[in-house]
Homo-oligomer: A and B are copies of this chain.
Amino acid sequence: MCGVIGVFGHKEAAKIAFFGLYALQHRGQESAGIAASDGKLVREHRGLGLVAEVFNEKVLNNLEGHIAVGHVRYSTTGSSTVKNAQPFCVSHGYCTYALAHNGNLVNAHFLRTELEKEGSLFQTTMDSEIIVHLLAKALKRGLIEAIRETMGLIKGAYSIVLLAHDKLIAFRDPYGFRPLCLGMLNGGYIVASETCALDLVQAQYIREVAPGEILVIDKNGLTSYEGVKSERLAHCIFEFIYFARPDSYIYNENVYSFRKRLGQNLAQECTVEADFVMPFPDSGNYAAIGYAQKAGLPFEMGIIRNHYVGRTFIQPSQSMRDFSVRVKLNPVREILRGKKVAVVDDSLVRGTTSRTRIKAIKEAGAYKVNMLISCPPIRFPCFFGIDFPTRGELIASKHSVEEIRRYLDLDLLHYLSLEGLLKAAKKGKKNYCLACFTGEYPIPIDEELDKHIFETTKEV
């Protein structure tokens, strides 16, 4: 997963991009980058780490110009290297292009092989480099036409911001897999993965970049072009469940309210005997609040989050095994002792972390633990950008709910039904990608999809 931002028409565009990335940090913590243009020279800076670690005042001041694109990258496939940090910058003729991409292509392998046959060279393992090569090949037919042709060739999820010399361009796949929104700031424009980035820089939300749309922002203002069409939409519903920030609006809906409705629907599906409701913080907070309100149970924070957990963690020796879990979250003995609790969490992926947490809650004295998950069992991998593990590692792909309940040592385990999930959404089922729950992928997936195949170089 990744977060992208584009800024046009602010004299400190790179600083605005920086603050926007700050708000999008939850979408990726591996690397961060910004490219800025004054309409003549493009300056860029990228690095491994959090936004606040990669940038400082001096670097931002050097990123001069009124146009900027930024990117935060989640650790996914490929080695963790600054080479794979975006925006991806190339020069062609007398222009520089800087592209920031959120999403995942499903025909990358095919496209890359074709490009290499024609002599194209690759420096990274990113899908984004393929997109840039396709754009360059078609540039002689004009930039808009080149983007349209490229959109016709690439299959999969892409929410892209592109700095093209003196223009800012945004385009999004026709399914609308990943969010991308448009805002306005003092007469300039901002494009970002989520509205929380607009909020932070006090920009006004205008609308979503439409699925399939090409949006060009330059000194003449905003122009919208039709890119490609598809028969249906496929908004990733997992963005609502877990990924997006609760204060954001994505696909024109607020995430906090969506999650609260998930909790309410859970309460309608499953009543439990409990002294109180508690979340696994922070991802379960909002569904837990919804559940508690609907079920008429008290809400407590039975487990505390330590805010000072650094990212590079000391590996304790064998005798200290559980420390790493406890460092992040600690159960509140006084609250839990002798209590029946209803724990709400957003989802279960591998189940290992939840198991340790449930064990800690029981050791702290809870004598009955019921667990409520605010989505259906995740049984299928995602090929559109969510970094779920392989199918074998998804606990629900191989085990029944009862088996999972026993593995987690729970008194009760309930997953929200698909109907309960869809009832929380404003649009109909056909507008969302539900593949991780149903296995029905909106775009057919090549059986041999292997994103690693080209990794022949490694930075050390």
Q: Are A310 and B42 in contact (CB under 8 A)?
A: no
Q: Are A334 and B254 in contact (CB under 8 A)?
A: yes
Cβ-neighbour of A116 out of B16, B93, B285, B327 (below 8 A): B93
Q: Are B121 and A92 in contact (CB under 8 A)?
A: yes
How close is A103's CB to chain B, nearest CB, in angstroms? Answer: 21
A223 at the interface (CB under 8 A from B): no
Q: Are B89 and A23 in contact (CB under 8 A)?
A: no
Cβ-neighbour of A202 out of B12, B196, B322 (below 8 A): B322
Q: Are B310 and A458 in contact (CB under 8 A)?
A: no
A91 and B121 in contact, given A22-B306, A308-B26, A310-B52 (Cβ under 8 angstroms)? yes
Contacts of A200 in B (CB 8 A): 323, 326-327, 330
Cβ-neighbour of A457 out of B96, B293, B308, B316 (below 8 A): B96
A282 at the interface (CB under 8 A from B): yes
Q: What sequence of 0s and 1s flags, for each residue 422-460 of chain A, a beta carbon within 8 Å of any chain B beta carbon?
A: 000000000000000000000000000000011111111
A123 at the interface (CB under 8 A from B): yes
Cβ-neighbour of A456 out of B42, B55, B459 (below 8 A): B42
| Contact residues, A322-353 vs B (CB, 8 A) | 322-323, 326-327, 330-335
Q: Are A307 and B307 in contact (CB under 8 A)?
A: yes
| Contact residues, A139-162 vs B (CB, 8 A) | 139
Cβ-neighbour of A332 out of B91, B254, B457 (below 8 A): B254
Indicate how many identical chains form the complex.
Answer: 4
Cβ-neighbour of A459 out of B45, B256, B319 (below 8 A): B45
A63 at the interface (CB under 8 A from B): yes
Interface hit among A130-138, A175-183, A399-407: A130-138
Interface hit among A230-238, A296-304, A389-397: A296-304
- Most chain B beta carbons < 10 A, residue from A41, A59, A139, A316: A316
In the complex, the chain B residue whose C-beta lies closest to that of A292 is: B299
Q: Are A314 and B18 in contact (CB under 8 A)?
A: yes
A174 at the interface (CB under 8 A from B): no
Contacts of A220 in B (CB 8 A): none
Kindly state the separation between the CA atoms of A241 and B132 in the bound complex, as whole angstroms.
47
A43 at the interface (CB under 8 A from B): yes
Q: What sequence of 0s and 1s flags, for each residue 30-56 of chain A, a beta carbon within 8 Å of any chain B beta carbon?
A: 000001000001111100001111011
Contacts of A90 in B (CB 8 A): 121-123
In the complex, the chain B residue whose C-beta lies closest to that of A326 is: B200
A191 at the interface (CB under 8 A from B): no
A227 at the interface (CB under 8 A from B): no
Q: Are B460 and A62 in contact (CB under 8 A)?
A: yes
Kindly state the separation between the CA atoms of A442 and B226 in the bound complex, as whole angstroms.
56
A268 at the interface (CB under 8 A from B): no
Cβ-neighbour of A122 out of B91, B165, B309, B317 (below 8 A): B91
A19 at the interface (CB under 8 A from B): yes
